[in-house]
Amino acid sequence: MSLTIRVIAPDGLIWDTNADEVVLPSLTGQLGILADHAPLITALEIGILRIKVNSGWTPIIVLGGFAVVKSNEVIVLISGVEEVLKEDYSQAKELLAQATKDLELAKTTKEKIEASQDIKRASSRLQAFQFLET
């Protein structure tokens, strides 16, 4: 038995497919969802949402949101999404370095929060590359 997963962003439907497994970036860590999972609602952190179809994983970077799991259906409502492309690896490393530098130079609370969010996004981009097929 498989799961149905729908990923919905403010600008429309991002993903709608059947999957063998889903891993969500919840606020308390990675949350694996398999068929017949208990119903739940969880908040999502900036991170990698992974979808396993057949034997391959597809990573999607989500920018926070919520997920609902019920009756072998996973509905993910997200604030935003970023696609992971193999050719963007060096750019992702540069963005992480810049975000780290920005955090070190941040003086106000607002600047520190924004830099921390940038680091989470950049780190997620780099981590997502391990799930791309070569």
Q: What is the pLDDT of residues 74-115, one digit of tens each?
A: 999 998 887 766 666 677 777 777 878 887 888 888 888 888
pLDDT value at 132 more than 80: no
Here the contacts of 55-62 (C-beta below 8 Å, separation 24 or greater) are 56/133, 57/131, 58/131, 59/84, 59/128, 59/131, 59/132, 60/7, 60/14, 60/15, 60/84, 61/121, 61/124, 61/125, 61/128, 62/7, 62/25
pTM: 0.73
Q: What is the pLDDT of residues 51-69, one digit of tens each?
A: 998 888 888 889 899 999 9
Q: What is the pLDDT of residues 26-58, one digit of tens each?
A: 989 999 999 999 999 999 999 899 999 888 888
**In the CATH hierarchy, which top-level class contains the domain 3-82?**
mainly beta
pLDDT at 100: 81
pLDDT at 134: 45
Q: Where are the domains of the chain?
A: 3-82, 86-131
